[in-house]
Amino acid sequence: MAKISAAAHLQLADQFDRQKKFSRRRVDKALGRIPRGQESPFGDFPDSYERHKIPIGLLLPTPRAVADDRKALTARNALSMTGSAALAATPRGKATPRGDKMAQTLGGLKFEMSTGLAPPSPRSPREQRIQQVLSARARETPRAQTAGIFGSPRKDKIPNEPPKAGAFVRRPIKPSEFRRFYDRGDLPVQVQHAATQNKIQWKVDIDKLDYHHYLPIFFDGLREKEDPYRFLAVEGVFNLLDRGGSKVLPVVPQLIMPIKTALNTRDAEVIVTSLKVLQALVLCGEMIGEALVPYYRQILPIFSIFKMCTISTFDQMDYAQRKRTNIGELIDETLEIFETHGGEDAFINIKYMIPTYESCLLG
pTM of the predicted structure, to 2 decimals: 0.67
Let me know whether 127 and 201 are in one domain: no
Q: What is the C-alpha to C-alpha distance for residues 331 and 106, in angstroms, rounded to an integer?
A: 61
Q: Do residues 10 and 234 make contact, with C-beta atoms less than 8 angstroms apart?
A: yes
Let me know whether 223 and 334 are in one domain: yes
Let me know whether 329 and 186 are in one domain: yes
272 falls within a domain: yes
Let me know whether 69 and 187 are in one domain: no
- pLDDT recorded at residue 126: 60
16 pLDDT band, cuts 50/70/90, is confident
Q: Cα(first)–Cα(last) distance of the chain, in Å?
A: 41
Let me know whether 181 and 303 are in one domain: yes
Q: How many domains does the chain have?
A: 2
Let me know whether 131 and 179 are in one domain: no
- Arithmetic mean of pLDDT, 197-208: 88
- Arithmetic mean of pLDDT, 323-352: 90
Higher pLDDT, 75 or 241: 241
Q: What residues make up the domain containing 197?
A: 173-353
What rounded mean pLDDT belongs to the chain? 77
pLDDT at 96 over 60: no
Which tens digits make up the pLDDT trace of 41-50? Answer: 777 778 787 7
35 falls within a domain: no
161 Rama sector, left if φ>0, alpha if ψ -120 to 50, beta otherwise: beta
248 falls within a domain: yes
212 falls within a domain: yes
Let me know whether 125 and 191 are in one domain: no
77 falls within a domain: yes
Return the DSSP state at 247: G
359 falls within a domain: no
- pLDDT recorded at residue 337: 93
pLDDT at 112 over 90: no
pLDDT at 274 over 60: yes
Is residue 202 helix, strand or coil? Answer: strand
Beta-carbon-side half-sphere exposure of residue 297 (alpha carbons within 13 Å): 2
CATH code for position 206: 1.25.40.90
Q: Where are the beta strands (DSSP E) in 97-156?
A: none
Phi, psi of 271 (to 5 degrees): -65, -40
Let me know whether 227 and 326 are in one domain: yes
pLDDT at 267 over 70: yes
Contacts of 5 (CB under 8 A, 6+ apart): 197, 199, 235, 238
Q: What is the C-alpha to C-alpha distance for residues 170 and 67, in angstroms, rounded to an integer?
A: 29
149 pLDDT band, cuts 50/70/90, is very low
- Arithmetic mean of pLDDT, 203-211: 90
165 falls within a domain: no
Q: For residue 327, which amino acid is it?
A: I
Q: What is the C-alpha to C-alpha distance for residues 216 and 253, in angstroms, rounded to an integer?
A: 10
Q: Which residues of 136-173 are buried (b: 16+ CB within 10 A; e: fewer)?
A: eeeeeeeeeebeeeeeeeeeeeeeeeeeeeeeeebeeb
Let me know whether 322 and 210 are in one domain: yes
Helix (H) and strand (E) counts in the chain:
15, 2
- Arithmetic mean of pLDDT, 203-229: 91
Let me know whether 180 and 325 are in one domain: yes
36 falls within a domain: no
253 pLDDT band, cuts 50/70/90, is very high
Let me know whether 338 and 200 are in one domain: yes
Give percent of the chain with pLDDT exceeding 70: 69
Let me know whether 240 and 303 are in one domain: yes
Least confident range of 137-141, 202-206, 314-318:
137-141
